[in-house]
Amino acid sequence: MEIISLEGTEDTPKIILDSKNGIFEISGRSLPEDTAEFYQPVLDWLEKYSDGPNSETKFVFKLEYFNTASSKLILDILSKLEDVDNASVVWYFHEDDEDMEEAGQEFSELVEIPFEFETY
């Protein structure tokens, strides 16, 4: 599968989707101008990936901030991960950031995927 590798900017997160090396990560700040358009390649990639996933898929979210529009797309990504066998999520949050911790908890209750919570 092709690798998606986007460098983060002030408004968009860094995204790496690399099935060969087992790296699945979205990190940084997410407030793109057109959220749906920005995340569509990620959703398309996960759709293809779910047809023949690795034996284990640990999807890492290490977001400092995301806007309301991004939260819907994050939920869409998590919903796609429900179709990936043996997928799990590692939700990182800064130890002082209760809002990001709560956001991860809320997402974990909305989808049927194991979540791990880690501070940094």
Radius of gyration for the alpha carbons in the chain, expressed in angstroms and rounded? 13
- Token pair recorded at residue 101: 């911790």
pLDDT in tens, the chain (120 residues): 999 999 999 999 999 999 999 999 999 999 999 999 999 999 999 999 999 999 999 999 999 999 999 999 999 999 999 999 999 999 999 999 999 999 999 999 999 999 999 999
Q: How many helices (H) and strands (E) does the chain have?
A: 3, 6
Map out the domains of the chain as residue ranges. 4-119
**pLDDT tens sequence across 68-88:** 999 999 999 999 999 999 999
DSSP code for 95: T
Rounded to two decimals, what is the model's pTM? 0.97
Q: How far is CA 113 from CA 10, 76, 84, in A?
A: 29, 13, 10
